[in-house]
Amino acid sequence: MIIDAMTDFDIAPCLTKGPLAESGLEFTNAARNLGDHPFASVLRAWCIPSLFTRMEQLLERGDDPVDGTNSALCDLAGFLSLANSSGFKSIKTNGNLPVPGENAVEDADVKEVTGDHYGNLFRGFSSQSYWDEPAKLLEQRLTRNGIPLSEIQNKSVLDSGCGGGRYSAAWRLLGAAPVVGVDISSINIEDAARRAELGNLEDIFYKQGNVLDLLFDDDEFDIVFSNGVLHHTTDWEKGIAELMRVLKPGGWGWLYLIENPGGVFWDVIEILRVVMKDEDKSTSRAALQQINLSANRIFYMLDHVMVPINLRLSPSEIEGCLHSCGAVNVRRLQRGADIDRIEHIFQGEQYAEQRFGIGENRYVFSKPKQ
Ligand SMILES: C[S@@+](CC[C@H](N)C(=O)[O-])C[C@H]1O[C@@H](n2cnc3c(N)ncnc32)[C@H](O)[C@@H]1O
């Protein structure tokens, strides 16, 4: 499989039907017509914070988000067309982007490209974004869903796809031990180990490895945790089977996977994925650094927009897989931290469905005692 061989409509189905189809196409065509001049790449990268900040303002206000998102997409299309008409020409291909697939990512390379993408995004996190926020978020997510912190004390935890280790550290700070983080990226593993050492955190270990082929024996961990990882891999179902395999009988797991349907929030991200699919990641990071966005804002904006695979799954797909892997007590969590989409839905905010679809697919599940 070649990942970039996906059509624009596979990447962003909202371009074929739905309330953003027309304005989305106007924007993606205007972005594409800029051509492949290096300045065009910077302009396209700047479309990301432009649309994200417009979207955030819209999602914060209580009005219908669809009209505002359409205007944001049309405004940006108009701006890009203006830049183009004032003599902004391609130096290589007379206004065409590189042939689709030119930067194709082979299946075998997906995990390396994905690992580097996240390694480069996580390593600049400030200590507040790394130490304080994740622990607060994890505590809210656990306790609001009826899981008291007493249940995790001295329990062994696997953080499968730990990134730079922010949630591994959070589990440890909340009392779990030992905590083991695994990630494919050497940048992430080195950074996570360095931060743990600087923070004098004991009983926390990091190993480089593949979440689709975990380097642990069966039945090793009291708790398995995978936060926002398997939807970026070539085989999310294998990833769930691996979590179940290494979980102890009687232990429990926590899984977050992107939701489908996902409202305007995910439609905008998928439209940006179309625009950015052939762009160089380091140029895009540099373009956002130049406008002084913090490392965690850059992570937030480039995370899903520039990763090779970004699958969105329905609850029935996830529940079907969990059950077929032998999980019991499968529960979709209805609460989240204040910033979570599911919490906005739980609070019954106006237009929550148009904004966020069904909200994050966060699950807890158990492995039966033998
Ligand atoms: C969105 S980040 C989430 C990181 C972390 N769970 C968090 O919430 O901060 C996804 C992570 O999955 C890792 N990853 C992707 N595919 C992987 C694979 N096949 N094996 C191990 N790690 C993988 C990436 O390197 C990246 O760090």
Which residues form ligand 1's pocket by a CB distance below 6 Å? Answer: 111, 114-115, 118, 161-163, 166-167, 183-185, 188, 210-212, 227-229, 232-233, 303
Q: What is the pLDDT of residues 337-356, one digit of tens each?
A: 999 999 999 999 999 999 99
Predicted confidence (pLDDT) per residue in 108-124, tens digit: 689 999 999 999 999 99
Check if the beta carbon of residue 207 is closer than 8 Å to that of residue 182: yes
- What was the pLDDT predicted at 108? 61
Looking at residue 94, its pLDDT comes to 35
- CA dist., res. 21 & res. 360, Å (int): 23
**Amino acid letter for position 340:** D
Question: Can you tell me whether residue 280 is helix, strand or coil?
Answer: coil
The values of phi and psi at residue 277, to 5°, are -65, -25
Ligand 1 centre and the CA of 162: distance in Å? 6
Atom of ligand 1 nearest to the CA of 188: 27
Q: Which of 30-44, 169-183, 186-200, 250-264 has the lowest mean pLDDT?
A: 30-44
> What structural domains and CATH numbers belong to the chain?
3-104+263-302 (no CATH), 112-261+312-366 (3.40.50.150)
Kindly give the distance from the C-alpha atom of residue 226 to the centroid of ligand 1, in angstroms, as a whole number: 9
| pLDDT at position 88 over 90 | no
Measured from the CA of 212, which atom of ligand 1 is nearest?
A: 19
Helix (H) or strand (E) holding 205: strand 204-208
What is the phi/psi pair of residue 261, to 5°? -75, 160
β-bridge mates for residue 332, sequence order: 363
Nearest protein Cα to ligand 1, atom 10: 229
Nearest residue to 332 (alpha-carbon basis) of 257, 228, 251, 244 = 257
Residue 206: strand pairing partners: 181
CA of 143 to the centre of ligand 1 (A): 25
Torsion angle of the four alpha carbons 59, 63, 68, 69, in this order, in degrees rounded to the nearest 10 = 40
* Residue from 112, 129, 232 whose mutation best tests the ligand 1 pocket (most atoms within 8 A of CB): 232
Burial class (CB in 10 A: 0-12, 13-18, 19+), 279: buried
Ligand 1 centroid from CA 338, angstroms = 23
CA of 208 to the centre of ligand 1 (A): 11
Buried b or exposed e, range 89-108, using 16+ CB within 10 angstroms: ebeeeebebeeeeeebbeee
**pLDDT score at 97:** 40
pTM of this prediction exceeds 0.85: yes
Question: Using an 8 Å Cβ cutoff, are 208 and 189 in contact?
Answer: yes
Structure confidence by residue, pLDDT tens digits, 193-243? 999 999 999 999 999 999 999 999 999 999 999 999 999 999 999 999 999
**CA–centroid distance, residue 92 to ligand 1 (Å):** 35
Q: What is the pLDDT of residue 63?
A: 83
Residue 183 CA to ligand 1 center (angstroms) comes to 6
* Mean per-residue pLDDT, 263-276: 97
Ligand 1 pocket: which of 157, 168, 183 to mutate (most atoms <8 Å of CB)? 183
DSSP per residue, 22-44: HHHHHHHHHHHHT-S-HHHHHHH
For residues 9-27, average pLDDT: 95
CA of 299 to the centre of ligand 1 (A): 13
Phi/psi for 192 (5° steps) reads -65, -45
| pLDDT of 325 strictly over 80 | yes
Closest atom of ligand 1 to 233 CA is 16
Q: How confident is the model at residue 93 (pLDDT cuts 50, 70, 90)?
A: very low
